[in-house]
Structure 1
Amino acid sequence: MTERLITHLRHVDLAVPDHAKQLDFYTNTWGLKAEHTDSGLTFLAAEGSPEQYIVRLRQSADKRVDLVSFGTATAADVDTLAGRLAADGVQLIGEPDTLQTPGGGYGFRFFDNEGRTVEISSDVAVRQHRTIEEGESIPVRLSHVVLNSADPEGTVAFYGKHLGFALSDTLMHPRMGNMMWFLRTNAWHHSMAVARGPHPSLHHASFELRGIDEYMRGTGRLLRQGVEKIWGPGRHRAGNNTFSYFLDPHGNTVEYTTELEVLDEDSWHPHVYDFSDPEVSDQWGTANAMNEFVAQRSFNDPDKGLFVAPPV
């Protein structure tokens, strides 16, 4: 396996037609904090995270995922990854350079096998953050991002070969075969997952809350505010994390979660879970059934940003 130089997930950047409506949702409803704002561009931080921002919102005619960003430990690791990717024929959007985003740093962007923009960076300044208090139902950090793929086997292979992601577990269905692959880049069960879908798009972005009580309070708060719930609350088997999935104003699925499993990587062996078993989807049995409605919403709209680098 490729030497692992990626240390963690940093942020997910979304472009949407109605920036103001999206910003209102992520700050006043979801619980993020707008730290840096320009016309039609906002960087949103989690109060408990040292990352400068975990979500970026950009005004655009097209709804798209602008990019997914991962961190490395050093600038030398950034250069190593850029060199390896280029040597393997992966299309770089630019050579490693100083980043012009909050916190600065050093990094580069490239297109993955299906045309998503991925950013790799190091030396980004740490944001002043705080300990989330008991009862505070706001995100502590960005937990993971799940991507829909029309070629999931190829996408999983790409991230394993080029970026050193390791497979934690797989979900399968007796009629449909393998459907979701959970990939890790540190001891967390997954920082990214790849789902079989009709087109490349965002499946969901997941946000970690302080604990079970805060997770349930957050779920209840969104329900009271009339935010459309897709699936949950429940607890998955793979990753052992809780889940409550909601739709943001532009139809992206976002998740509140907590207690994602931390693995002993030296002894871990991947499982294949059959998600036609209700306990695989939800150990508690409290969530609504995983059905066509839930699946359709998770497919999202086809991403309009493939092989087109975001302007910022």
Structure 2
Amino acid sequence: MSVDTGAEAMQIPRPLAPVTKPKGLGIFRTGHVSLFSPDPAASAEYAVSHLGFLPAGNDDEGRHYLAGHGPDAYSLVYSPGVSGLEAISYIVPDDAAFEEAASTLARAEVDVVRNEGTSRFRPGPTLSFRTPAGHPIELRVGHAPEVPVAASTRRPEAAPAPIASDHVVLRTVDMEGEIEYVKTKLGLMESSQIQLPDSSALMAFFRGSKLYHCMALARADVNGLHHVQFTVKDGAAVLETFESMTRSGVEVLWGPVRHGPGHNMAVYFRDHVGHIMEFSSEEMTILDDENYSPMHWSVTDPRSADEWGTFPPESFT
């Protein structure tokens, strides 16, 4: 038996597929979250003293900016107001992607406010608009690394120590309509759903690039914010966060838990205003969109809430 050792018999590796370009508006990841507070200065001080954020300054309009322990100039903003969500700021990777997003929104006849102003806290233009449910979205150019921000950040020595904002969960009345908008207009990819017995979505999780979700929708009686999330370095950091918050009197609502969707380890608590916040780590990354199929979890499956068997308190849901 002869063996052909010629080049034609060799296993020639196929070229690697190009890096997946973000779809739709080109959203790459979450940049920062702006929340309303009746006392932004007090909320910012609490976020520094109890939640591990770093002060990043304030502007003439009364906004207070807070940085995480990652590369972003700031990850959380408190603005004058009662409470709730002022905006979710999503990042596109460069100026060309920003202009393409502006053109896409114009063609779709979305009502957009473009702000060209620059300042210490606004280094470039922004596009602001609302989804059909009224959820406020902002697009801007920002840091778009090849790996999730927390993975490329050195482990902070302190705890708690939020690194970056990675996702927001929004209460939504018209789930089917908002899911369609998020997929077709925003161009986010669906990662999974938690489904009711009739197979309708109780929750839906969407990603812009590799990280499991930058946005999630939760079926509710009113539209608005459910919670905002910030990533900590690893599982040990989640446990350290829980211990530190328990000692300092932060109102811990739930956790530590290990979610089925996303597989992230998390702890939930309230900020100075009463907003629900999540610090979590080890969120699943999806490296091959072509071969990934969105998972469907039943609401009756306890692992959809916590693989370790706990359930959120009524005040959380």
TM range (shorter): 0.7 to 0.9
Alignment of 1:32-181 (within 5 A): 32-38=53-59, 40-47=62-69, 49-60=70-81, 62-94=82-114, 97-100=116-119, 102=121, 104-122=123-141, 131-133=154-156, 136-174=159-197, 177-181=200-204
Aligned partners of 1:213 and 1:50: how far apart in 2?
21
Pick from 249, 255, 267 the counterpart of residue 232 of structure 1. Answer: 255
Which 10-residue stretch deviates more, 51-60 or 179-188? Answer: 51-60
| Structure 1 counterpart SS, 2:284 | coil
2:314 aligned residue: 292
Question: Which residue, 185, 192, 215 being the options, matches 1:192?
Answer: 215
Q: Secondary structure at the match of 2:233?
A: coil
In the alignment of these two chains, the number of paired residues is 288
| 2: CA distance, partners of 1:117 / 1:196 | 17
Q: Name the SS for the 1:290 alignment partner.
A: coil
The answer to whether the Cα contact below 8 Å between 1:144 and 1:205 also exists between their aligned partners in 2 is: yes
Q: Which runs of 5+ in 2 are unaligned?
A: 1-21, 146-151
| SS, match of residue 183 in structure 1 | strand
SS at match of 1:114: coil
> Counterpart of 1:19 in structure 2: which amino acid?
P
**Residues 293 and 42 of structure 1, relative CA distance in 2, 3 Å threshold:** closer
Query: AA paired with 2:59?
Result: D
Query: Which of 13, 22, 29 is the matching residue for 1:8?
Result: 29
Q: CA deviation at 1:103?
A: 5.4
C-alpha deviations, 1:239-281, integer Å up to 9, x for none? 0001211111222100111100011323210011012221221
SS at match of 1:156: helix
Aligned partner of 1:18 in structure 2 is 39
- Determine if contact 2:24/2:184 at 8 Å carries over to the other structure: no
Q: Secondary structure at the match of 1:28?
A: helix
After TM superposition, give the deviation of residue 192 of structure 1 in Å. 0.9
SS in 2 for 1:148: strand
SS at structure 1 position matched to 2:28: strand
Q: RMSD of the alignment, in Å?
A: 2.4
Q: Name which of structure 1's ranges 1-10 and 175-184 shifts more when overlaid on structure 2.
A: 1-10
Matched, 1:280 2:304: yes
Shift of 1:202: 1.1
Shift in Å, 1:190? 0.5
Q: 1:163 to 1:125 in 2, by over 3 A?
A: closer
Aligned to 2:274: 251
Residue equivalent to 1:212: 235
Alpha-carbon distance in structure 2 between the residues aligned to 1:9 and 1:20: 24
Moved more, 30-39 or 253-262: 30-39
- C-alpha contact (below 8 Å) 1:97/1:108 kept by paired residues: no
- SS of the equivalent of 1:70 reads strand
Percent identity at matched positions? Answer: 26
1:15 alignment partner, SS class? strand
Supply the distance in 1 between the matched residues of 2:184 and 2:137 (Cα, whole angstroms): 15
Q: In 2 relative to 1, CA 123–170 (structure 1 residues): closer, same or farther, beyond 3 Å?
A: closer
Q: Which amino acid aligns with 1:280?
A: S
Pick the aligned partner of 1:31 from 39, 48, 52: 52
The Cα shift of 1:108 comes to 1.6
TM-score (norm 2): 0.84
Contact 1:4 1:185 in 2 (8 A): no
- C-alpha distance in 2 between matches for 1:177 and 1:157: 13
Aligned mates of 2:158, 2:48 — CA distance in 1? 18
User: CA 1:98–1:38 in 2, change beyond 3 Å: closer, same or farther?
Assistant: closer
Alignment match, 1:269: 293
Separation in structure 1 between the aligned mates of residue 87 and residue 195 of structure 2, nearest angstrom? 28
Q: TM-score, normalising length from structure 1?
A: 0.85
Residues of 1 paired with 2:143 and 2:234: CA distance? 28
